[in-house]
Amino acid sequence: METQFSNAGNETKPKGFAFLSFLRDLVITLLLWGYFIFGFILFFSPFYLIAFVCAPIREAAIQCLNSLFYNGFFILVRLLMPGVGLHIDPKVKGLENCIIVCNHVSYLDPLMMIALFRRHKTIVKATFFKVPVFGWVLRAAGYIPSMPKGRMAGLMVKQIKTLASFLETGGVLFVFPEGTRNRNAGKGVLALHSGVFKIARLCRSPINVLVIRNTDKLFTPGRFLFHTDFSGTISVELAGTIQPDYDKENVSTAGLMEQAGTILNKKQRISPWAHQTDRP
């Protein structure tokens, strides 16, 4: 009887903990997603409206507001989940005048990149530009639609034409060349898309390769809820820099892709921050 009772207890106890864990995940997830609605409406919308009507500074102002907005999101993440640490490589914080390519393991990755860089642009799925309010923010920030058709094609051409001057004046373009989230993080990158490397050649820009770690452990692809019991460090590291001599004819798109893929594969396999929490 004791054995049966013990076994029953062992079966019941995990179920109870599982329910409490699910409940905590649900509540914190709703609070975080609520930030996107209520935080925007209550705290940020007046500043976005001011930026929209100030045409000369609109693009830079919207980019800055986006960065501040997502910084607020990650501050809330750390307040609600004290076990989550954040380590940003000091070399990453100083990046400018360049194109950034990065691995992609979670929906949180682009939010992290926007939070890190006040002056930034990125490539976004063209369908998002059609979403009310969100699409207006994307356009105003100077983001670039991917694989556009119709009017979106004109917008892409317009943004590409001004990109070189944007980079020269301190901006960064960040892109996830895998094109989608990699569900096998740490086991190698997916095949890279060539678009961003063609842009790098067009703008004659250096390429900095970054590695993001552990965002997938906090917010896993295919799961609506955050893993609120995650205790570890989300890190962003500079894995390497590609500084091509664009005056040489042998600088090819394929060569840039190969270099970036090699750097990502080598750096992504080992994480010095996987099992510790850094609270700078």
The residues spanned by each domain of the chain are 2-268
State residue 276's pLDDT score.
44
Specify the pTM: 0.88
Model confidence over 35-84: pLDDT tens digits?
999 999 999 999 999 999 999 999 999 999 999 999 999 999 999 999 99
Structural fold of domain 2-268: Glycerol-3-phosphate (1)-acyltransferase (3.40.1130)
State residue 177's pLDDT score.
96
State residue 180's pLDDT score.
85
State residue 6's pLDDT score.
39
Residues of the chain with pLDDT under 70: 1-14, 16, 148, 185-186, 269-280
Pairing mode, strands 207-213 and 232-242 = antiparallel
State residue 267's pLDDT score.
79
